[in-house]
């Protein structure tokens, strides 16, 4: 059973870079057929996808965040990461990492528990 766990600071200052890492267990991120992605949820709001990446480094970004977001992989550690630059209070949200079907719906089928990141000075 694939499990994901995000890690990173829960508090980030405005204008700084938010950095999160997702560690995958019970499966390899090199497994074909899946992307690995990040989604966020503002408090009391809906879901927004941020980016997803294939093990070969091919990545897709939500156009609304593309200029500030970078997703990367470390296959040796079975991890993938998100950097979000120049954060503001509007980036305060619950951040999830997830496995993504590589075709069809791009459905997120396994999720991390989620981590709250607050942007505040």
Partner 1 sequence: QSALTQPASVSGSPGQSITLSCTGTSNDVGAYNYVSWYQQHPGKAPKLIILDVSNRPSGVSNRFSGSKSGNTASLTISGLQPEDEADYYCSSYSTSISLLVFGGGTKLTVL
Binding site for partner 1 (CB under 8 A): 45-49, 60, 62-63, 96, 101, 104-109, 111-114
Q: How far is the CB of 39 from partner 1 (least distance, A)?
A: 8
Collapsing DSSP states into helix, strand and coil, what is residue 21? Answer: strand
Which residues are CB-contacts of 77 (< 8 A; sequence separation ≥ 6)? 23
Q: How many residues does the chain have?
A: 121
Q: How far is the CB of 76 from partner 1 (least distance, A)?
A: 26
73: which DSSP letter? E
The answer to whether 80 and 22 have CB atoms below 8 angstroms apart is yes
Q: How far is the CB of 114 from partner 1 (least distance, A)?
A: 5
Q: How far is the CB of 81 from partner 1 (least distance, A)?
A: 19
Q: Which is nearer to partner 1, 8 or 16 (CB)?
A: 8
Q: Which is nearer to partner 1, 87 or 96 (CB)?
A: 96
CA distances from 10 to 16, 87, 90 (A): 13, 13, 15
Q: Which is nearer to partner 1, 16 or 25 (CB)?
A: 25
User: Would you give the end-to-end CA distance of the chain in angstroms?
Assistant: 39
Q: Which is nearer to partner 1, 58 or 101 (CB)?
A: 101
CA distance 103 to 119: 34
């Amino acid at each position: 059973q694939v499990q994901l766990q995000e890690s990173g600071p829960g508090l980030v200052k405005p204008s700084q870079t938010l950095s999160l890492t997702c560690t995958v267990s019970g499966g390899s991120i090199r497994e074909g057929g899946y992307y690995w992605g990040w989604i966020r949820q503002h408090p009391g709001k809906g879901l927004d996808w941020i980016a997803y990446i294939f093990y070969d480094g091919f990545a897709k970004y939500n156009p609304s965040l593309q200029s500030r977001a970078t997703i990367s992989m470390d296959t040796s550690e079975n991890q993938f990461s998100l950097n979000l630059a120049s954060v503001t209070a509007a980036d305060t949200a619950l951040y999830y990492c997830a496995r993504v079907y590589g075709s069809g719906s791009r459905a997120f089928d396994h999720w991390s528990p989620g981590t709250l990141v607050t942007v505040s000075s």
